[in-house]
Amino acid sequence: MGITIKDVAKASGVAPSTVSRVIADHSNISPATKKRVRKAMKELGYHPNANARSLANRSTQSIGVVMPSSADKALQNPFFPEVLRGISSVAHELDYSLLLSTGETDHEMLEGVERMVYGHRVDGVILLYSSTHDPVMNFLLEMNFPFLIVGKPWERMNEISHIDNDNITASKNITDHLIQQGHERIGFIGGAQELVVTLDRMKGYELALKEAGLPFLEDYRIHTDFLKAGGKKAVKKLLDLKEPPTGLVITDDLMSIGVLNTLEEHGKYVPEDVSIVSFNNVYLSEVTRPPLTTVDIHIYELGVQASKCLIEKIRHPYEPAKRVTVPFAIKHRSSTARKEEPSSQ
């Protein structure tokens, strides 16, 4: 026999009606009681969503969207407004509204998603990131709650619907572009190492170097925030090396702008001294000086496909998980040049 609300009530020392109100996230229940009841639910393996939905088989007509950090930080990067534009275009057409959730820590992000799920505020959730050992993803899986990832899941890929690019191939191709121009000392500036997109783009970079017989040097690999300040910080470290790289693979256009600014401050010019390739093809990549050679990942289309797939999953919950790969294209601009061999005297 399955675990019931009465079992949860007994384990947490409250009345069954209190458990029901905690599941509904009523404001008249104290945070301490909610925490105790949710802990008991988790320990007992009680999943309230099926019961709650049977009590009131109604749709909220809302989708939860989870960003990987606080809104003020995430929205500095043009990727997020653009992917949200794609998500909202489909949601609006199908009469769904969006509810954004953010957090400074994994714990805060999990709490925000728990409030959405337990409070029946949304019908499904889109995660705008994918990280290793993510508590939010694990929670949504445990609750059997409709969700989708923009990115590639770290594990259980066949069970989780996701929308992504082939980031390994894209990174290999853009690194090959630098190699074909004669660059042998090629650095990599990526985001946090727990982000799957960073790991995939680093893998493509490594594959290109290996195939060309070039060394993969730890000193040439820097991980930082997907922000302009992150790019500035990373390139300073690379410029301090005895032999700085002559080519850079940067996994985000906003970081690339920080790199461009810092190189100029140090009297280095792009592409004469350092060639740069980047990712995302946000609108800023065309107006930088010089314009960036970058991978167009079609951000808007990622959002469109994410919204379509999640709403389909909400309406047809027993459909198998889907994987949609959005094509990429390299935009060749002016931030790279052939590496000139030093003249022998």
Q: What share of the chain in percent tops pLDDT 90?
A: 63
Average pLDDT over residues 147-172: 95
Displacement of CA 119 from its chain's centroid (Å): 25
| Residue that the structure tokens 């705008």 belong to | 128
H or E stretch covering 336: none
Mean per-residue pLDDT of the chain = 89
pLDDT tens-digit map of 18-45: 887 787 767 778 888 988 988 888 888 8
pLDDT of the residue at 303: 98
pLDDT of the residue at 235: 84
The neighbour count for residue 35, using CB atoms within 10 Å, is 13
pLDDT of the residue at 106: 85
Angle between the N-to-C axes of helices 106-118 and 135-142, in degrees from 0 to 180, rounded to the nearest 10: 20
pLDDT of 295 > 90? The answer is yes
pLDDT of 343 > 60? The answer is no
Q: Which fold has domain 167-296?
A: Rossmann fold (3.40.50)
**Least reliable range by pLDDT among 66-80, 107-121, 205-219, 269-283:** 66-80
User: Is the distance from CB of 163 to CB of 184 less than 8 angstroms?
Assistant: no
Strand order in the sheet with 275-279: 221-223, 186-190, 247-250, 275-279, 293-296, 329-331
pLDDT tens-digit map of 39-96: 888 888 887 654 444 444 468 999 999 998 755 667 788 999 999 999 999 999 999 9
pLDDT of the residue at 308: 97
How far is CA 145 from each of CA 12, 176, 206, 297, rounded to the nearest angstrom?
A: 24, 41, 37, 28
Residue ranges of domains in the chain: 1-58, 167-296
pLDDT of 154 > 60? The answer is yes
Q: DSSP letter for 268, please.
A: -
**Confidence at 1, pLDDT banded by 50, 70, 90:** low
Q: Which fold has domain 1-58?
A: 434 Repressor (Amino-terminal Domain) (1.10.260)
User: Is the distance from CB of 67 to CB of 39 less than 8 angstroms?
Assistant: no
The most confident of the ranges 30-34, 142-146, 233-237, 324-328 is 324-328
d(CA 279, CA 208) in angstroms, rounded, equals 16
pLDDT tens-digit map of 195-250: 999 999 999 999 999 999 998 899 999 988 767 777 788 888 898 999 999 999 99
More confident residue, 341 or 274: 274
Angle between the N-to-C axes of helices 253-265 and 228-239, in degrees from 0 to 180, rounded to the nearest 10: 50
**Least reliable range by pLDDT among 19-33, 284-298, 320-334:** 19-33
pTM (two decimals) = 0.81
